[in-house]
Amino acid sequence: MHIQLMTDGGADVPKRLHDALDIKVVPLYLHFGNEEYKAGVTIDLETFYQKMAEADELPRSSAPNPNDFYEAYKQVDPEKPIIMLSLSKGLSVTYDNAVLGKNMLLEEEPDRKIEVINSKTASCGLALLLHEAKTKMDENYTYESLVDHLYERIDQTNSLFVLKTLENLIRGGRLDRVKGTIAKTLNIKPLMRGSDEGTIEVTEKVRGNKKSLRRFVEQIGEYSRNFENKVITMTHCNAENRAKKVLASIRDKYPFKDAYLTDMGPLIANYAGEGGLVISFFKS
């Protein structure tokens, strides 16, 4: 590949895509009490899920620091231009740290080409953009053309979320405990999406698991069409069978050209909780 693609721990990249692209990932940090881990480096996903289930409090996550990005950029051949697709600035300081790391390296090596892009998405949304980058690299896009194309595609990226449980939102303080208890009693399942600014917003509240999944699938047709030329990406929080069933029903209804399914990483799993699902696709 004539361009080095990079991302950070906010991305959930399927192995099939990772292997095809040789993507470099700058991991985020996880904190279980006083214990600090580098996600995917000093703690694997299975252990993370196990520790999350056993812990009294949810782990904290923190962004890679500027030096982490500096070191990662420095490992790339200086002759090879870099595109760093960062977790949404609306969710983390990761993007800002990636830019600081870039500036640190450019002070030493000013001829380097490094573009840090605020993806305004996370999880499988970043995987979708990385797949798009691979497609255009296979079509021999120049570095400059690919950068421009990715900025355009970011504005067309749509990410939808459905939760099976509200437990993590309550435990993490993102949902008032009293309101959360009422919502759990009423069996309310929130549907969410990535906003245009790159934050996560609740779009609907649906009663019951089956209804929420049905509505989750229905929404796709309200945001997009001409699926024959499109790819869909999905992540799940420790719920592979549930994810496979939902993805099969999506593909029965909408004839996506291809689909990627992978586990949800620590960042979004902390929000979503067990059984949470995320899908990403292009609007047009």
Partners of 8 in the β-ladder: 26
Q: How far apart are CA 21 and CA 33, in angstroms?
A: 35
DSSP state, residue 276? -
Three-state DSSP at 27 gives coil
Pairing label, strands 231-236, 258-263: parallel
- State residue 169's pLDDT score: 52
CATH number of 4-28+63-154: 3.40.50.10440
Residue that is written with structure tokens 């000013």 in the block: 110
CATH number of 157-282: 3.30.1180.10
Q: 30 with 170: CB under 8 angstroms? A: no
Q: 30 with 58: CB under 8 angstroms? A: no
Which residue type sits at 179? K
Residue 199: alpha-carbon gap to chain centroid: 12
- State residue 171's pLDDT score: 53
Rounded CA Rg of the chain? 19
Within the chain, all domains assigned CATH 3.40.50.10440 are found at 4-28+63-154
Within the chain, all domains assigned CATH 3.30.1180.10 are found at 157-282
- State residue 166's pLDDT score: 54
Per-residue pLDDT of the chain (284 residues; tens, 9 = 90+): 689 999 999 999 999 998 888 899 999 999 988 899 999 899 988 898 888 888 777 888 899 999 999 999 999 999 999 999 999 999 899 999 999 999 999 999 999 999 999 999 999 999 999 999 999 999 999 999 999 999 999 999 999 999 876 555 545 544 444 444 444 544 678 888 999 999 888 888 888 889 999 999 999 999 999 999 999 999 999 999 999 999 999 999 999 999 999 999 887 888 778 889 999 999 97
Q: How far apart are CA 194 and CA 225, in angstroms?
A: 19
Q: 269 with 208: CB under 8 angstroms? A: no
Residue 12: CB atoms within 10 A of its CB come to 28
Q: How far apart are CA 29 and CA 33, in angstroms?
A: 13
DSSP state, residue 227? G
- State residue 121's pLDDT score: 96
Q: How far apart are CA 105 and CA 69, in angstroms?
A: 9
- State residue 283's pLDDT score: 94
